[in-house]
Structure 1
Amino acid sequence: MQDADKGEAADLDGTNLRIGIVQARFNEPLTSALAKACIAELETLGVALKHIKHVTVPGALEVPVALNAMAQSDRFDALIALGCIIRGETYHFELVANESGQGVTRIALDHELPIANAILTVENEAQAWARAEEKGRDAARVAVEMANLLEDLS
């Protein structure tokens, strides 16, 4: 078993991993950019396209419902949540950001399944575009690393 205190590298070998991705369609150009970067990075890490299940849902509040169905299927080593919530003039931003985040976390803990949360919460569209590609790649790396870690810990 690796000891993180010794500074050992993360296990980013995605070979034979099965990854589920749930993408919110709200702010679709941004979430599609997240998904494109995420899937490309998963492939770079060795995850076969045939082992990636990518589904879309209307918005960030629906992401946890689809994640839960995927988690219950017991077909995935890790899941990825993709979305983009841009602050508006009302309290709705806080509600959607908080509830979607809580839902993602609850599903990960309830099912003991790693979920990389790449639901962006930003002030404006420019901030979202500045983060989309890197956060998509980050989500892929987190999913693979955590799937491998949990396998090592079991």
Structure 2
Amino acid sequence: MFGADKGAADRLDGKRLAIGIVQARWNPGVTDALAKACREALLEHGVEDDNIDHVFVPGALEVPVALQAMAEKDQYDALVAIGCIIRGETYHFELVANESGAGVTRVSLDYQLPIANAILTTENLEQAVARQVEKGRDAALVAIEMANLLEDLE
């Protein structure tokens, strides 16, 4: 079984990994905190600062196209999608949440590249703030673990 023979520390070893982060600027208080927590966790797990590329897009709907452009470069071991969508009074929430999520998944599958999806979808700002640090850290760990798993599977 692939990956089963590795210890947890090996799966979370970020040395030699190149990670790209795409951050939506919408709801910057939350997305900045997500990105900070993600970056800190990447560094804690051995990813070199020079091996982290961080780009910004207007909102969650633009995240997948930036992820696709990064994936096409074929220089990243994993990517991270960061955004925050807070429910409003219209159907726009569902549209943005569903389409951005589908776009992130499609890029990951099309390029066989791990993408940790840290685009929060919450009912209100308080829920987003409560999740921002944990979800940012989780995204970093998912990116590292999946990059190492896919390398093992090659």
TM-score bin (small chain): over 0.9
TM-score normalised over the length of structure 1: 0.96
Pairwise mapping of residues 1-154 of structure 1 onto structure 2 (< 5 A)? 1-3=2-4, 9=8, 11-154=11-154
Q: In the aligned structure 2, how far is the partner of 1:2 from the partner of 1:146?
A: 10
Unaligned runs of 5+ in 1: none
SS of residue in 2 equivalent to 1:82: strand
Secondary structure at 2:148's aligned position in 1?
helix
In structure 1, distance between residues paired with 2:56 and 2:86: 18
DSSP 3-state at the match of 1:132: helix
Q: Which runs of 5+ in 2 are unaligned?
A: none
TM-score, normalization: structure 2?
0.96
Give the deviation of 1:3 after TM superposition: 2.5
Displacement of 1:9 after TM fit? 2.7
The DSSP-based 3-state class of the residue aligned with 2:20 is strand
Secondary structure class of the residue paired with 2:8 = coil
Return the alpha-carbon distance in structure 2 between the equivalents of residues 131 and 63 of structure 1. 20
Runs (4 or more) in structure 1 with deviation over 4 Å come to none
1:8: how far off?
5.1
Equivalent pairs counted in the alignment come to 152
**2-side partners of 1:18 and 1:90: how far apart?**
39
